[in-house]
Structure 1
Amino acid sequence: MIRVRPAERSDMAAVDALLARSYPRLLKPDYPPSVLVTALPLISRAQPALFGCGTYYVAEEEDLIRGAGGWTRDRSRQDLGHIRHVVTDHRALRRGVGRALVAHALAEARAAGISEMECWSTRTAAAFYAAMGFQSEGPMQVPLQAGISFPAIRMRQRLS
């Protein structure tokens, strides 16, 4: 059984390890090595600002963190939310972990007055987000650091 709960600062090391072991395996089929060698060190680390914010969650199964992800409100548009840093343990794919996390995030965002959710999906996760009701708006580049960007797909879903 999968249990979703708000992430706490004490979960950061476990999520960091989850990202570090899963993102390289999950993204490898959809990105060339030249992209992964520069992007993985930047994207496969837990983002401290998300922990303790109340809208970033972990999914546990058998007392192990099997996934993480959440949402945040847009800084300039109060009814827009953004899916944030979702990961599922590569050893727990197709067991409902990602679905439980994203469904929970969408329900919580809707309850908080968010009417539209945006997602900057990896190429790997685009089919998953489409199955969750998101529609593709096309390719984009996510700036990670000066001179380093990551190819992604902008996706959107109306919540109301």
Structure 2
Amino acid sequence: MTQNITIRPTSGADTPAIDALLAASYPVLLKPDYPSSVLVTALPLISRARPELLRSGTFYMAQDDEGEALAAGGWTHSGPQGGVGPRDLGHIRHVVTHPKATRRGLAGAILRHAFEQARAAGVTRLSCQSTRTALPFYAAMGFAVQGEIEIALRPGITFPAVQMIRAL
């Protein structure tokens, strides 16, 4: 049976679904690329939906016919650490795919939708902070590596990532 996938903007009501998606995905998909000493402290902090993203109008969820969240992600003008920079620069935010739905093009479809919406809002460049795991995905989506970074999650807790950029 063919499943229909719908991509739609999220709302605050999607918090439980996105929390479940993040909790199912990150421990499984990040494990090959990060030591357990990093994951034990980072996962509780990164595996939670960001309410401001869910209500932004620029964060999207791919769901199946039953309404299950299979992938999510989006973009914002504000950066992951807050603040707003140049209006032509947007930021890809919190892209995730359920382990059972990888390699089906869902994250790519969400990003292409985000590209269209960001372009319509006057954005000409998108940056992202990629996990090591997602680096090949973002490269295939046209992002170029700018360098390795350490994302401060809380005082004393950092997460290794890769800063990337893409023109629209």
TM-score range, shorter chain: over 0.9
28-37 vs 69-78, greater mean Cα deviation: 69-78
Unaligned 5+ runs, structure 2: 79-83
4+ aligned runs moved over 2 Å, structure 1: none
1:139 matches 2:148 = yes
Q: Distance in 2 between matches of 1:64 and 1:19?
A: 13
Matches within 5 A, 1:1-160: 1-62=4-65, 63-74=67-78, 75-159=84-168
Letter in 1 for 2:69: I
Q: Distance in 1 between matches of 2:130 and 2:21?
A: 18
Aligned Cα RMSD in Å?
Answer: 0.9
Q: Distance in 1 between matches of 2:107 and 2:142?
A: 14
TM-score, normalised with respect to structure 2: 0.92
Per the alignment, in what secondary structure is the counterpart of residue 38 of structure 1? helix
Q: Distance in 1 between matches of 2:108 and 2:64?
A: 13
State the 1:2 CA deviation: 2.4
Letter in 2 for 1:93: T
State the 1:138 CA deviation: 1.4
Q: Distance in 2 between matches of 1:87 and 1:51?
A: 13
Q: Is the 8 A contact 2:17 2:68 kept in 1?
A: no
Q: Is the 8 A contact 1:119 1:154 kept in 2?
A: yes
- Residue-pair matches, total: 159
Letter in 2 for 1:46: A
Per the alignment, in what secondary structure is the counterpart of residue 58 of structure 1? strand
State the 1:76 CA deviation: 2.3
State the 1:133 CA deviation: 0.5
Letter in 2 for 1:70: G
Percentage identity across paired residues of the two chains: 55
Letter in 1 for 2:6: R
Per the alignment, in what secondary structure is the counterpart of residue 114 of structure 1? coil
Per the alignment, in what secondary structure is the counterpart of residue 48 of structure 2? coil
TM-score, normalised with respect to structure 1: 0.97
Per the alignment, in what secondary structure is the counterpart of residue 17 of structure 2? helix
Q: Is the 8 A contact 1:2 1:100 kept in 2?
A: no
Q: Distance in 2 between matches of 1:51 and 1:21?
A: 18
1:68-121, Cα deviation, whole Å (9 max, x unpaired): 110000302111000001100111001111111111111110111001000000
